[in-house]
Structure 1
Amino acid sequence: MINISINIPEKPLLVGKVGKSYGILGWIHIFSFTEKKDAIFNYLPWFFLKEKKWEKIEIENWKKYKDHFIVNIKGISNRSITEKFTNSEIIISKNTLPLLKKNDYYWHDIINYKVFNTDQSYLGTVINLIRMKNNDVLIIKNKSDVFKNNILIPFIENEIIKNVDTKNKFIFVQWN
């Protein structure tokens, strides 16, 4: 059997960003995009992507630092080496995420879902989500040629978001 080391993630998924080096021993700042910030450490290995170049990373140690983290990369104990990772994206393989129960979904799964209001009028397609303090917001690419602006819809389940149909990739909303 041939053992092949994979240095490019399967089904890449962005989970964070690398900041600048920290100290002289090769630690580096990490900013997590996961809902629970420290959950980023559950999805290993990481791949750093910078200028279309991939680097597979193993974490030796990490610590909470202010509103983000600092990490020590296995085999690196020199600041000059970690400086090349500054501003890299932190990517994981999508298959490292835990499996979900039926009808559950990750935020990235609902990108490109079609959005309809409860009158079954087509509003547009989900192009992104914004994480806000009180509730998240769907960004809908407006299907109307008259209005060029995107539609922003608060993601408040049962009140505004009536149904997320994962089978057909539709979202039904109470929105006019």
Structure 2
Amino acid sequence: MSQAFNKIFWGVLFTFIDIHIIIIDIFPDTLGYYFIYAGVKLLPVYVPSSQKVKNVAILLSIVTLPTMFYQNVVINTLGQIPILFEWSIYYMFLELVNLILVYYTFQLMMDIVSKWGLEALVRRTSKTFTIYVSVTLILILFQTFMMNMTRDFLFMYIIIASIVGIIMEIALLILLRKYRSVKIVELV
């Protein structure tokens, strides 16, 4: 169980970190989503929501291939509004599918800890889930209004949304780290 959540942890971390060297992302999201898939694959088959997580993780690992070179595309198309608009729709789609993956991942974690009656971890997971999904949906909703914001308000929104997004990802990583250290005796 610990090895599975270790891979899931590293997968989420890879999708969280976005560092480009020249034009290549050195922590590609594709690899992160594959780590999530590989981690969930190590979980026992009787966990009901594991198949949903695996399916969405594989979908995201394929669909995020273009993000490895996104920075180069933006530089080459600067000023070409239709292409930038298409990329923003693509990224909005990725955010929504990633939110679905996170939803299923939380469901997977709840299935695991509920089965063994770890009530403290059930409450912590449920609370983190509620806050994470609520805040993420609010941030996605506000993105639709970005084109109508003034420059000052847009700058303030980007700073606040970035900080809140980082806090949410760190909260998820801390929870996954807690799951790595949980010792569960497998039932035969």
Give the TM-score, by structure 1 length: 0.29
Asked which structure has the greater RCO (Cα within 8 Å, sep 6+), the reply is 2
TM-score by structure 2 length? 0.27
Structure showing the higher helix proportion among its residues = 2
